[in-house]
Structure formats: C-alpha cells, structure tokens
Amino acid sequence: MSPPSPSVYIVEDEVLVGMELSERLHALGYRVLGRATGGDEAMGALQRLRPDLVIADIHLGTEPSGIALAEHLRRRDPAVPVVFLSARSDCATLDAARRVAPAGLLVQPWDERALHATLQVALARAAIERQREAAAADRLERELRRAAARHEASLYRMAAGMAQAFSNLLGVALAQIGLARHALDDPARLTRSLTEAEATIATAGRHLEFLRRYAGGGRPSLRRLDLGELCRRAAGDAHALLPAGARLAVVTDSFGPLVVGDPEMLAMAVGELLRNAGEALPEGGGEIELWAQEVTAGEVAALRWWPTDWRAGSGRFAAITVFDTGEGIADSDRPLVFEPFYSTRALGRGLGLAVVVAAARAAGGAVAVQSSPGSGTALRMVLPIDAGGDA
C-alpha cells in the first residue's frame, strides 16, 4: 500500500506504549505528527496539526477520556477518523465506544497487521465519507441553482405575458378613443366609441382583478353553494369549448358537497379546468371526467398543494377533479401549470389555471396536479366543506 503517507496523532497515557506505537507506525509508513498523554494536551495539538487520523486509548489515566476526546473532535471536524485502542472489550467499554462511532477499535492483544488493516480501512472510509458529503453539498447547490433559474424564468414569463396581453387591450382602447376624436360632430358614433373604450378598459380591469385574487387579495363574494350543481352547470356551458371527439363524463351526487365560495369564480375555474383538459386531448378526441365529491383527509394529505404553505387543517374537504386521457405533463412542467401566462399568450387563456388558484384561495382551498407523460392528467381543487348549520 503506497499512497502519500497518512499523518497520525497518538493519544496514549502510557509513555512507553505510545513510543512503541509511534515506532511501529513509522515503520509501516505513517507520519506520526505527535503524541499526547492526555486529552487536554491532545485537543490543543490536534487543532493545530490537523492529522489524517487520530489513535486514542479509550482509558486515559486522566479526564477527558478517549471517548470524550473523540466526541469533541467529531463536533469540531467530523471528517477526522478516530481509531480507539483498548485493553478491555467488556460491554460497557464497547457500548461507550460505539456511541461515538469510531472509525475502528483495536482490542489488545493486537498485532501490527491488525493495526495496519484497521488504519487503512478507517482512512478509506473517511475518504468515502468526505466524498459523500461533497456530493451532497454539490447536489444541494445544483438543485438550488436550478430552482433559481426556474424562479427567474417564471418572473420573465409573467412579465412578458402581462406586457403582451395588456398592451393589446390598451392598444384597442387607444384606437377606440382615436375614433371618438374623429367623431366630434357625430354624437352617436362618439358615444359608441367611448362606450367601447370603457368596455375594453373594464375587460383589462377584470383581468387585473383575477391577478389580485390569484395573489390572495381582492374581495370575493362568498356564499354557500352546492359544488355538484355548480359542476353540472359549468360542464353544460363548457361543452362548446371542447374539441370534436372529446367525451365528457360528469360524476356528482344529486346533492352537495356544500362549500362556501364565490360562485362566479368557481364556475370560471371549472370552465378553465375543462378547457385545459380539452386542449390536452390528442387529435381525434379522448375522455374527460369531471368529479365533484367529498374526499378523505388521507387523499388530501397525499398530494402537494399549491399554495405551498396551504395546510388542510382538521375539517372535511370537497374536491373538484378533472381527469383527461391526454399526453400528460412532464415532471419539470408540473409546478408551472398554475402560474399566470404559463404556456399560452392570450390574456384570458394566459391567466388560465391561475384562475383556478384564485378561486381556490378565495374559498380557503388549494390546487394540485397529478400527471406523468403518457398517463393523462388529473387536476384537482380542494375546498373546505361547509359544515355550518344555517347558511
């Protein structure tokens, strides 16, 4: 064995034993950086010398013991292996040694070959452990960089989406005001153009209101409602949005679940879920299922919800779930689908599933996605069930 000779520090209260050990190690090709007869002396020296390995007698004549020394060393630098020497192998000694997880333990009588083998194994394990620590740190750094890049990309996408979508609306409003300017002598046309400009600006305002609610603000008009009924109605309205060949099954009980939410927002959210499912279907059609049902705490606990700080609490939950038999969503895209302006450019569509987040947040709920490429997608909105007596 001929790598660069490793450096060793010896802690042994019996001076002659320490000297002999030192000579043997030297003969085996180790560099002995020094020797101490007590733990205190060793602690000072080790800080300075930083050996590759420490050999310590467990039972030093004075405190601290070899065990205490090893504990201290491990707290300071877990990468430095400690090999214990012991004249005893009773349960108490082994137990104490085991608790500080030494790199090796040589019970007397040991010979030079056992010493060498133990040190080599200890050094090899220490090298492996350092590699693993470094690999873990690398992985953390790499993952955090990837997360930062995704974060940045989301901000840019949102800024670009807003700029594109609102510029279009503002351009239309400007053109309508321009038409009004050229109709000063025609009150009817003038008034019509002004009305159109107002309507365009109001549309932009409605989109902004959704952004506000997506962010958890705004003033939703909450009332108690039957989620199953809401889904049946929304599905009726949504049929026109679905591609030819799409089959839609709506699964609800005849009554409930009852939740407290903003009916308009929730209806829009179900519409967006269905439109999204329709767009995911392959050419020529496929299946969409819309479920409104009560779900168990276990089902709620099993998924990763957005907003990420949403906690289910102890109540009961209703879920609206839309399954489609489309392509599925790649792992990397899954967290993005609820972000504004993900995947589409038009304003209404750009806010797409962000509308679902807005509706869920307004009602104290959350959204989740389950999907893998090839196996279709399930988008799910969960809302607290209204257990209250009088509505």
- Residues 240 and 276 sit within 8 Å (Cβ to Cβ): no
Question: Minimum CB separation from a second copy for residue 161, in Å?
Answer: 8
Measured between alpha carbons, how far apart are the two ends of the chain, in Å? Answer: 82
Half-sphere exposure (Cβ direction) of 139: Cα atoms closer than 13 Å: 6
Residue 151 in the binding site for a second copy (CB under 8 A): yes
> What does DSSP assign to residue 328?
-
According to the binding rule CB under 8 A, does residue 95 interact with a second copy?
yes
List the beta bridge partners of residue 35: 10
For residue 243, the 8-state DSSP code is P
Among 15, 19, 27, 160, binds a second copy (CB under 8 A): 160
83: enclosing H helix or E strand: strand 82-86
From residue 10, alpha-carbon distances to 78, 225, 331 in Å are 18, 77, 53
Contact window for a second copy (CB under 8 A) among 12-20, 86-94, 274-282, 288-296:
86-94
Among 166, 260, 289, 316, binds a second copy (CB under 8 A): 166
Rounded distance between C-alpha atoms, residue 292 and residue 294, angstroms: 7
Shortest CB 164 distance to a second copy, Å: 7
Q: Which residue has the tokens 């496929």?
A: 286
Token pair, residue 37, equals 């007869």
Out of 15, 63, 79, 156, which residue is the one contacting a second copy (CB under 8 A)?
Answer: 156
The residues, ordered by sequence, that sit 6+ positions from 169 with a Cβ below 8 Å of its Cβ are 200, 201, 203, 204, 207, 347
The length of the chain is 391
Site for a second copy in 103-142 (CB under 8 A): 103-107, 110, 113-114, 116-118, 120-121, 123-125, 127-129, 132-133, 136, 139-140
* Distance of alpha carbon 29 from alpha carbon 246, whole angstroms: 77
34-42, 59-67, 102-110, 294-302 -> range binding a second copy (CB under 8 A): 102-110
- The helix (H) or strand (E) run that includes residue 156 is helix 112-181
Segment near a second copy (CB under 8 A); pick from 31-39, 98-106, 322-330, 378-386: 98-106
Query: Between 144 and 241, whose beta carbon lies closer to a second copy?
Result: 144
Question: Is there binding between residue 24 and a second copy (CB under 8 A)?
Answer: no
In sequence order, the β-bridge partners of residue 36 are 11
Task: Tell me the site size for a second copy, rule CB under 8 A.
Answer: 93
Residue 283 beta carbon to a second copy: minimum distance, rounded to whole angstroms: 31
Contact with a second copy (CB under 8 A): which of 26, 76, 98, 239? 98
Q: Smallest distance, Å, CB 178 to a second copy?
A: 8
What whole-number distance in Å separates Cα of residue 6 and Cα of residue 122? Answer: 11
Return the residue of 4, 16, 48, 184 that touches a second copy, per CB under 8 A: 184
* Binding residue for a second copy, selected from 91, 240, 244, 387, defined by CB under 8 A: 91
Residue 318 is inside which H or E element, if any? strand 317-324
Q: Does 99 engage in binding with a second copy (CB under 8 A)?
A: yes
Cβ nearer to a second copy, comparing 83 with 248:
83
* Interaction mask 189-228, a second copy, x per CB under 8 A: -xx--x--xx--xx-xx--xx-xx-xxxxx----------
Residues between 273 and 332 that touch a second copy (CB under 8 A): 306-309
Residue whose CB is less far from a second copy, 305 or 317: 305
Tell me how far the alpha carbon of residue 300 is from its chain's centroid: 17
Q: How far apart are CA 387 and CA 259, in angstroms?
A: 8
Q: Which of 19, 49, 79, 155 binds a second copy (CB under 8 A)?
A: 155
162 contacts a second copy (rule: CB under 8 A): yes
Q: Tokens at residue 43, please?
A: 């602690």
Among 68, 177, 312, 378, binds a second copy (CB under 8 A): 177
Q: Cβ contacts of residue 119 below 8 Å, gap of 6+?
A: 6, 8, 30, 53, 55, 83, 104
Taking CB under 8 A as the binding criterion, the range among 149-157, 228-236, 261-269, 270-278 that sits at the site for a second copy is 149-157
CA dist 355 and 274 (Å) reads 12
Q: Supply 297's token pair.
A: 């705490």
Complex with a second copy: residue 76 or 139, whichever CB lies closer: 139
3-state SS assignment for residue 141 = helix
The residue within the footprint of a second copy, chosen from 43, 68, 158, 378 (CB under 8 A), is 158
Q: How far is the CB of 84 from a second copy (least distance, A)?
A: 8
